[in-house]
A and B are shown apart, each in its own frame.
Chain A
Amino acid sequence: MIEPELLEKLKNADEAAFRFLVEKYQDKVFNTCLGFLRNVEEAEDLAQEVFIELYESIHSFRGEAKVSTFLYRIAVTKSLDYLRKQKRQKRLSFVLSLFGLEDQIQSVGSIETDHPGVLLENKERTNLMFSKIDELPERQRVAFSLHKIDGLSYQEIAEVMELSISSIESLIFRAKQSLQKKLKQYYETEK
């Protein structure tokens, strides 16, 4: 099914077209969410929400970008919102624990990741890498993750983030430099 035809059918609430879209992009959307959340259950839940949002907002989609770009955009926004919410909850439970209102800090968004795509022999290194990626500024983190984990090209990332290709190049370059510096500090203190 070609994209304009798919879009037209989606706007007419065609169930078969929606099923086709979900089946075509579900792996990509799921892996994008997983790249940010690193938890299978949470990523699956969010992937469902991404498709529901597309289903509900398809009328506002004017077809300026590809459907896949639109989906990636929703997936990234939803993942970042989810992480922000997690952080807020974590902060709140910490404050509550200080006042003795909560017995222990909830382990929301623990450092240990549950990404099934990580090879066992690389688990320790990848966990360290994830923790350093989380310290990056948001734009660098998004661009770096989409490039390295989801394998998107600079052009595709530029479309998703609505930035120029040179901005994406710069973001990824700065992310790499920052990660190198952070890892160097880590290994020097480890020694």
Chain B
Amino acid sequence: MKNIEEEIFKTLESIDKIQPVPSNPFLYAKIKNRINQRPLPIIMPWMSYAKLAVCMLIVGFNMVTISKIYISNSQPTMTKEELGNYLGLSGIQNVYEP
């Protein structure tokens, strides 16, 4: 048992003995090279205008919908008789009488 405890201790301790490794002295040159080789981001000035136009369009659609709902809500609702006349059902009697 003592042997196992010792082994565990030594193994846990082994991680503390890892030495720091010096990095490549030419790392900066490599980074610079990679940055220079990267394609430049494509800047599209019209893109922001397009985004704005889409936003305005969405807002416009919403406003039209809201106004339509408002108009339809403000109109007086038809009575039962009026609706029957409108649909041409004035002559038909109700079969179901609760």
Instruction: Place the interface of chain A in its size category.
Output: 35 or more
B31→A27 contact, CB < 8 A = no
With A48-B27, A52-B34 as known contacts, state yes or no: A126 contacts B4, CB within 8 Å. Answer: no
Q: How far is the CB of A136 from chain B (nearest CB, A)?
A: 12
Instruction: Place the interface of chain B in its size category.
Output: 20 to 34
Q: Which residue of A lies closest to B16 (CB)?
A: A148
Within 8 A of A (CB), among B1-26: 4, 7-8, 10-12, 14-24
Question: B28 at interface (Cβ–Cβ under 8 A)?
Answer: yes
With A22-B31, A180-B8 as known contacts, state yes or no: A44 contacts B19, CB within 8 Å. Answer: no
B27 contacts across to A, CB distance below 8 A? 22, 26, 30, 44, 47-48, 51
Q: How far is the CB of A120 from chain B (nearest CB, A)?
A: 11
A129 contacts across to B, CB distance below 8 A? 11-12, 14-15
Question: A23 at interface (Cβ–Cβ under 8 A)?
Answer: yes
Label chain A's interface by main secondary structure: helix
A52→B35 contact, CB < 8 A = yes
**In the complex, A26→B21 CA distance in Å?**
11
B12→A188 contact, CB < 8 A = no
B19 contacts across to A, CB distance below 8 A? 117-119
Q: How far is the CB of B22 from chain A (nearest CB, A)?
A: 6
A115→B28 contact, CB < 8 A = no
9 contacts between A and B (CB under 8 A): A23-B28, A44-B24, A48-B31, A118-B17, A126-B17, A149-B15, A149-B18, A180-B12, A191-B4
* Residues in chain B within 8 A of chain A (CB atoms): 4, 7-8, 10-12, 14-24, 27-28, 30-31, 34-35, 38
